[in-house]
Structures are given as structure tokens and as C-alpha cells.
Amino acid sequence: MKFKYIMTRDIVERLMKESYIRMNTFYLCVYTILYLTISMNLIKYNLGMAFLLYLIGFVILLVFLIIFSKIFMKMHMAKSDKQSSKRYGTFECTIDKDGILEILNGEESMTHWDQVTKVVNARYMILVYTTRSGITVRYRRANFKDKKEYDKVVETIQKHWKKEK
């Protein structure tokens, strides 16, 4: 079975938000580790003051990261809107008899993504983004809870996406 999967703006936005949340969490963890190693040596006896400085720095960094993420995301989505007119990529897909989903020939508009993810949400099927080199992504049926869930996703694909002729 072959079909085309069309990436839409709401999916791209949600994935970017998830990506920024992961990135910001990493930066806040690094800040915490650096703060604890540096400031505890400087303020050995006044733990209340050390904790207060840590909280102030944490809040400032958090606000900065949130603002930076929102600005960067708006700029990126505006650029993507101009380039793609609400279509963010089409993927040629096949599902073989073993239940392996294979995505082939991702459009070049998706080259800025270099990760692979899945969304087991029947409305969107399994979301996949492709790499710059066009790596084929496989999603095995074993990842589904059971055969029934897999069949439901395949049925949804057949209903919502254009079949390739």
C-alpha cells in the first residue's frame, strides 16, 4: 500500500514547541549544576542568600529562554509560511506485510529537521520528519499496543491521505 503524507502547520508548530521545551530544560539543568558548583564555594555560610541568588538567576534564565524560543519560533514559522504556502512536506510511504511503515523521498522543504519522531495519534497517523540525506524511517508494528491499534492507524491513513496512483 502506498500513500502520501502531508505535513501541516499545526504539526510543525507542536513539534517545534516540544523541541524548545527539551532544549530549555537542558539549559536550566546546566545552569543549576554550574550555579551549585560555583556559588556554594563563594557563599559557604549563608545558604539563604545562596538559595535566593539561585532562584533569581533561575527565573531570569527561564524568562529569557521562553522569550527567545517564542521569537525564534515565530520567525521560523513566518519563513516557512512564505516558502511552502501551508504545506510543509510530503512523504511517499509504504506499509509492508510485516507492518513496517517506510517513508521514502521526503521533500527538500523538510531538510531543517534532523530527528525522527512518532505520534501514535490516529488523526495524524505517525508523524515522521526526514533528514537532509533522505534517510528512510521505519516504524515497526511492535511499537503499537496491539494489532487492533495498528489496524486502526492503517485504516485512518487510507481515509485521510491521498493514495498514490
Per-residue pLDDT band at 41 (split at 50, 70, 90): low
Which set of grid coordinates corresponds to residue 43? Answer: 557563599
Please tell me whether residue 129 adopts helix, strand or coil conformation. Answer: coil
Please give the residue that has the higher pLDDT: either 65 or 161: 65
If you average pLDDT over residues 119-124, what whole number do you get? 32
Based on its alpha-carbon atoms, the radius of gyration of the chain, rounded to whole angstroms, reads 22
Mean pLDDT of 30-46: 73
pLDDT tens sequence across 103-118: 444 443 333 333 333 3
Q: How confident is the model at residue 158 (pLDDT cuts 50, 70, 90)?
A: low
Going from N- to C-terminal start, the domains of the chain cover: 2-8+86-160, 10-84
pTM (2 d.p.): 0.40
Q: Is 106 exposed, middle or buried (0-12, 13-18, 19+ CB in 10 A)?
A: buried
Element (H, E) at 137: strand 137-139
The Cα diameter of the chain in Å comes to 74
Yes or no: say if 107 and 90 are a contact pair by the CB < 8 Å rule: yes
SS3 138: strand
| Average pLDDT of span 56-65 | 85
Question: Over 70: is that where the pLDDT of 23 sits?
Answer: yes
